[in-house]
Structure 1
């Protein structure tokens, strides 16, 4: 029996519990780090068991959401493992046999970051093992999770049991300096009230303590259920880390491929209750950064590059309050055809729209805004 699989997002969340951001390099809790752990568990690359299967960074990069979520039997996992241990052509041949489009989450050049920054750091911390006897220049597979570390990602381990397991692993596997850093960081974070968000599908995730995170929590929990017919959170970006793709399977279904290395909005939601699907691009403003004319143009370019039709894009700038300093300073700069929302008035929304057509000022008020009375009626 192979180990039970874990979703990349949940793996990243647990990595953050083990290696708090304020005490360790943030690459250890990045989306690609969570992806690597989930991909290694998927192929059972765990050292210290009956027979260790070693892997390469490229093999982890070739993994994709549709395989992680759709091919989960032990037989399918071993079949994928055999292909990934060979080369990319073998992987693409298997995907073709499974009638799955080639859609890796990360670019091929991400393997250097995975190898040099993430796996090497996890090895230093005793979480990952290198295959003994290999020359540094050898291309042979060399990486596997330590069994004790992989145990922290068992799906059945949750709540207080997970917290205890993380503490025990910290105390038995990290050296004194790292132990002290980890314990102090967890103590600080427990006092800093990590922002816990309930997603539209009922799942929960944590955001780092910040004003932007609190605003995003309001957008996801308060605004989206009121404004959207069938909301789905596709991605969220936090200060200090790249975007977390919260629903990779839905992104693939919608034909959207997000490059986490590109310009990023704070959140991307889809309304599956509209035809065609509407994509809401959200910026949470706790200090600065509303969707002004320049930012709207950049986001439209970003959307087009990621296979989102500009005509399906909607824009929301979210503030803590109308009385908040950022709102007082920047409401005047909102781009035409965008909306504003305030966390302390969750039942209301502002629309900044043209009220008439002219040759030099085309109408931009969208039909959804007209229909929901989010702006004056347009003749």
Structure 2
């Protein structure tokens, strides 16, 4: 068996960032140092599908910088043979302790490389066996060959994604990349049933555009835009006639969220309106319980005395796997919603249990 040529594991991590771009589901499992070292070790021992060599977590755990530097074929084959034995030695300078076996196996391999078609799993290996059961798919392994850089790496990574990632994963990554590509130009937003709005470039206006053009028509019956703000200019747009009709002063700059939508014909609620307060989170600032309560107090104090059921609060993110969502989801208000540009057909509801019928079956 001819062993694959190697590049340093640090370069492999840099390539993982290209292969799995922003917006890829569970990207954190796929781009970490441990994943790069797993790919390196698999290539080091020749664990590529069809080669007959198989990787076990112990091969990664017990790899060391000193061993990684021994790249002649004899040293690499000897490492595979020794570390595949039931009583394999524990070398000095090993990359990981034994208690990191589970995150490596479960997060990096089983939740990362295997479901993303980067690695295959051999069947029929007993759980207690020291034998390896994982191997890189040949097409994925080829993305780590020496000399693959720049535009060629980008092209081959894109071709691999088209062939091996699911349609949903590809769409999610494409939406996030499309959002990032607008960073240098003003953003024109077409309001439903109203005029267009021009926003400055940046991640928040990109999400705002999606809220108005994608979220609103998907989740509201007859949407209108009453208010749009951003960090650069708190009042770039307001619909004064609609504001007057609603009877709510849309001038509380510190209280109002980034977007206020109005559903003039909410399905199943004939003759009512639904106020939808949407906070755009590109870095921080989700709708918390305190913020939601303040918004409810605002509409309750209006001449029309809106009740809580006349309002919905939504926090909008670019991607569920992005840093803003991971950092702020735990602070979201109960009885609110979360929406993600990269998964536009989905909506997360934080059910607060206030309903008398709160059994799980009633929520399905």
TM-score range, shorter chain: 0.3 to 0.5
Could you tell me the TM-score, scaled by structure 2's length? 0.47
Structure label with greater radius of gyration: 2
Could you tell me the TM-score, scaled by structure 1's length? 0.45
